[in-house]
Amino acid sequence: MVLHAPGASQPKAFRQRHRHAWGLLAGTLLLFLIALASLAIGSRPIPLATTLEALQHADPHNDQHLIVRQLRIPRTLVALLAGLALGAAGAIMQAVTRNPLAEPGLLGINAGAALAVIIGVALFDLTSMPQYIWFAFLGAGLAGIAVFMLGQAHETGTNPVRLVLAGAGLSVMLASLTGIIVLNAPPEVFDKFRHWAAGSLSGSGFALLGGLGLATACGLGMAFAIVSNLNALALGKELGQALGVDMRLTWLQACVAVMLLAGAATAAAGPIGFVGLVAPHIARLLVGPDYRWILPYSALVAAALLLGADVLGRVIAAPAEIAAGIIALLLGGPCFIVLARRFRPSRL
């Protein structure tokens, strides 16, 4: 009986990996279909055949082709990259903090980016999204570094509880500073800031894709490099060390990955909430507790949620639009309530 147990478990593990791999393929196909919908749907609907023609053989004299190529392609790509980044960052946060309520905003990244943007608008008269992204990325990075330093327990290294508390405290302080600047700035400053703060993707252009794509690629590369250690971190410090994981180094790598991913997404798309929180829970329900699968599934789910929210925002109030960040909050709230009712501590 004992001799046959390993052989019996191997086909089961193989079938599970096979099923998860097919799930990733199905998720990628679903994301591709949502992306096509994003290219075709808007204040001016464009037939799918015309959309495909614009992708294959663009006619510079056809205004529908120009809309697809110059407006909707960069908007769709920004939503995809920001969603991938937020989903992966949320999964990392929940692994390293062992907190099912953790999300990228927990490290103060959203608040740091928001403060940097409002300072740029108020003091340097920023007017466009490509200008926002560098200020937002700088603010997100500095906030992440500050939280990591404040979360140090000098006798034991980085502490998850201290990190969460430091992030929450810093977020409140930075949000207060942002509010002070907004209330005392001229009205036109608020008008420029609120478009980004609502999580609107309508101003996205090709100029955003360079910094966002590079930061997302680096962050995802670092996340997948430590994905095996994330399973050890999720078990707790003592068990992780017993498994031979360098906890301090893994913590540092995880925090840098979150700063890159969430910082870039927040800089490009605004402080979008709930996407990075809900996506890892959905992924966990689909594939179980193994972060080698949770990480890619979470990235795909978050990308589908954010892109779907952007498409839905164009339909609900057509020909006007509702910001993707607002739709994400409306969708994320009920989803999180359902997930919370199904939550079991043992599943983390």
Do the Cβ atoms of 267 and 131 come closer than 8 Å?
no
Read off the pLDDT band of 309 (50, 70, 90): very high
Do the Cβ atoms of 328 and 272 come closer than 8 Å?
yes
Map out the domains of the chain as residue ranges.
76-338
Instruction: Report pLDDT digits (tens) over 21-49.
Output: 999 999 999 999 999 999 999 888 889 88
Return the pLDDT at 301: 95
Question: DSSP string spanning 281-327?
Answer: HHHHHHH-S-HHHHHHHHHHHHHHHHHHHHHHHHHHTTTS---HHHH
The span from the first CA to the last CA of the chain, in angstroms, equals: 31
Sequence-separated contacts (24+) of 313-322 with Cβ below 8 Å: 314/41, 314/42, 314/43, 315/41, 318/43, 319/43, 319/44, 320/43, 321/43, 321/200, 321/202
Return the pLDDT at 291: 92
Is the confidence at residue 237, as pLDDT, over 60?
yes
**Bridge partners (DSSP) listed for residue 152:** 158
DSSP category for residue 68:
I
Return the pLDDT at 159: 64
CA pair distance 257, 241, nearest whole angstrom: 21
Instruction: Report pLDDT digits (tens) over 60-113.
Output: 888 888 889 988 999 999 999 999 999 999 999 888 877 777 787 777 888 898
Q: What pTM was computed for the model? A: 0.87
Cα torsion through 145, 147, 150, 151, rounded to 10 = -110
Return the pLDDT at 222: 94
How much is the mean pLDDT over the chain? 83
Return the pLDDT at 205: 81
Do the Cβ atoms of 117 and 136 come closer than 8 Å?
yes
Top-tier CATH class for 76-338: mainly alpha
Task: Give the CA count within 13 Å in the CB-facing half-sphere of 104.
Answer: 38
